[in-house]
Amino acid sequence: GQQVMQIPQYQHVQEGEDFTTYCNSSTTLSNIQWYKQRPGGHPVFLIQLVKSGEVKKQKRLTFQFGEAKKNSSLHITATQTTDVGTYFCAGPRLHSGNTPLVFGKGTRLSVIA
Amino acid sequence: SQTIHQWPATLVQPVGSPLSLECTVEGTSNPNLYWYRQAAGRGLQLLFYSVGIGQISSEVPQNLSASRPQDRQFILSSKKLLLSDSGFYLCAWSGGRSGNTIYFGEGSWLTVV
């Protein structure tokens, strides 16, 4: 079946270091979304990418959608303790309109001050 | 603006007892509604989703059930809880102008003892 895979599963970084998580889909995606879940909280929508090769930035976060629309990445420059949490990517299911999304298993980021 | 309310926030239930988690969405009509479960430190497991009143799709066979008695109300139930039902349960919605972006409630922590 359709799969969305994320690597790494965990990442520990020193504060100030950069961080990247990668998302790969077994199928071409019409769009991809990223969510962040703080410890003890609920996932919160960050951004949606739609176009092939699209790059979007939110302050220190850079999101990229691959040319083939099968992969995506989230890069955080100079991590801060506020970046701690689990980052999920998600894409639409095939043949079901746009619902429900298929989520990756997430990358849990720890930042050591 | 749209809001989602989910309750109770936490509960501790004995094995074999029933369960009822409720969720309501305000500020939108005919939303797609979802129940997810997240085991400690794990990814998001889609349990049920609904595209309309009385329309429930089950993703994972288990002793849980869902109902949608009203357009913006979604209920997760169990007749007899198992230890393995412990986890973080998240209600969510999508639809309208937000497309397939998913907005999560604050979650319910369930501990079965």
Q: What φ, ψ does residue A11 adopt, rounded to 5°?
A: -150, 125
Q: Residue A90: list chain B partners with CB under 8 A.
A: 102
Q: Residue B103: list chain A partners with CB under 8 A.
A: 45
Give the pLDDT confidence score for residue A98 in this predicted structure: 46
Which residues of chain B approach chain A closer than 8 Å at the C-beta?
32, 34, 41-44, 46, 49, 51, 90, 94-95, 99-107
Residues B45-66 as b/e (b if ≥16 CB within 10 A, e otherwise) read bbbbbbbeeeebeeeeeeebeb
pLDDT tens per residue across span B36-49: 999 877 789 999 99
Q: Residue B106: list chain A partners with CB under 8 A.
A: 41-42
Minimum CA–CA partner of A87 in chain B: B43
Q: Which two tokens stand for residue B66?
A: 């869902």
Q: Which two tokens stand for residue A14?
A: 């020193």
pLDDT tens per residue across span B22-70: 999 999 989 999 999 998 777 899 999 999 998 999 888 689 999 999 9
For the ranges A81-85, B38-42, B69-73, B101-105, the lowest mean pLDDT is seen at: B38-42
Q: Which of A26, A6, A3 is nearest to A86 (CA)?
A: A6
Going by pLDDT thresholds of 50, 70 and 90, the confidence category of residue B100 is: confident
Distances (CA, A) of A20 to A38, A69, A75, A83: 17, 18, 4, 12
Contact with chain B for residue A85, Cβ under 8 A: no
Average pLDDT estimate for B77-86:
95
What is the DSSP secondary-structure string of B36-65? EEE-TT---EEEEEEEETTEEEESS-SSEE
